[in-house]
Amino acid sequence: MFLAPFSKINLNRDTFSRSPLTRVMSAALLVIVAAGCSNNSADATSNTDLVNSSKAKTSTAAVSKDSDAKVVKSLQANLKASGIEETILSAVPTDMTGIYWVTAEGLPSFFTDKAGKHIIQGQIIAVGAETPVDISAALVASTAQKALKAVDKKDMVIYPATGATKAVIYSFTDADCPYCTKLHEEMADINARGIEVRYLAWPRSQESVPKMEAIWCSQDRNAAMDQAKTGANVQAPSCNSPVQSQMALGRSLGVNGTPAIFTESGQQIGGYLPAAQLAQTAIDAS
């Protein structure tokens, strides 16, 4: 489920409404979460892809290519003709002839054709060679890497590694998610393994918003996060917090459940993982 940015003035149920395009995309999109709290009843906990991306090579050929302005213009016009006012940022050619990787403002990235007439979601796997080639994985990771790198550290709740930092992970979290709590309970172990954890806010429901706002508005965010993860009530004066912008970021990266964990290279490694497995996965991806 992709959530619209919250209103800064009135946090009511209308803040969870979605644009027409977002509704269509969220109805079809299946985000794979290893273990986590989902706000989408159709969320999956196992990989059902025809070709598992872990068994396919990753193509990076399209990552550095330039955007095609004509495709952007055509797609923008076609969306407008359908009554959809979304802003298209780029359309990069992929290894598949006539197919482009699209980045849009406030939406998960997707594929389109050269005429900008179709929106295509999910993996694209090239077959015919000795090994299948996933032409989408590197594009997805590159988009996430750039977006996460742009977040100011002062807007996150950071738990630094103990000793040398071997890897960094970003985790979209919710104060009311049991799997987020389980992850947080292992924070000391995760940090001791050389992993720095950077929390971003992702309240899954309207009821969670005040708690997340209170954490980010606290003088000591780490202490407030620790309290919230034990079920304690956290209170703080209101402030101009980054919660709304981080929700928009999560939506653009396809987050629909928590914890949603990304490596520094932009690879989404799923939901909750035990400390040892999480650390090793993060280190391998760095």
Q: Give 183-214 pLDDT, tens digit per residue.
A: 999 999 999 999 999 999 999 998 999 999 99
Domain of residue 20 covers: 13-148
Active site residues: 174, 177, 180, 204
C-alpha dist (Å) from residue 211 to 57, 176, 224, 251, 280: 42, 9, 10, 20, 31
Query: Do both 205 and 97 map to the same domain?
Result: no
Question: Is there a domain that residue 140 lies in?
Answer: yes
Across the range 11-26, mean pLDDT stands at 48
User: What pTM does this model have?
Assistant: 0.76
Which of 148, 181, 196 terminates a domain? The answer is: 148
Which of 93, 126, 148 terminates a domain? The answer is: 148
Q: Give 51-80 pLDDT, tens digit per residue.
A: 444 455 555 555 557 999 999 999 999 999
Question: Is there a domain that residue 4 lies in?
Answer: no
Question: Is there a domain that residue 8 lies in?
Answer: no
How far is the C-alpha of 164 from the C-alpha of 185, rounded, in Å? 21
Q: What is the CATH number of the domain that holds 69?
A: 3.10.450.70
Q: Are 104 and 98 in contact (CB under 8 A)?
A: no
Number of domains in the chain: 2
Query: Do both 83 and 210 map to the same domain?
Result: no
Report for 125-139, 161-175, 242-256: range of highest mean pLDDT: 161-175
Query: Do both 166 and 139 map to the same domain?
Result: no
Q: CA 156, 160, 164, 165: dihedral to nearest 10 degrees? A: -30
Element (H, E) at 212: helix 209-217
SS3 245: helix
How far is the C-alpha of 253 from the C-alpha of 246, rounded, in Å? 11
Using alpha carbons, select from 250, 240, 164, 167 the residue that is nearest to residue 203. 250
First to last CA, the chain: 29
Q: Give 145-159 pLDDT, tens digit per residue.
A: 999 999 999 999 999
Query: Do both 183 and 235 map to the same domain?
Result: yes
Chain-wide mean pLDDT for the chain?
83
Ordered DSSP codes for 36-89:
-EES-TT-BSS---SS-GGGSEE--TTTTPPP-HHHHHHHHHHHHHTT--PPEE
Question: What pLDDT was estimated at residue 55?
Answer: 52
Edge-to-edge order in the sheet of strand 133-134: 57-58, 133-134, 125-126
Which of 100, 129, 148 terminates a domain? The answer is: 148
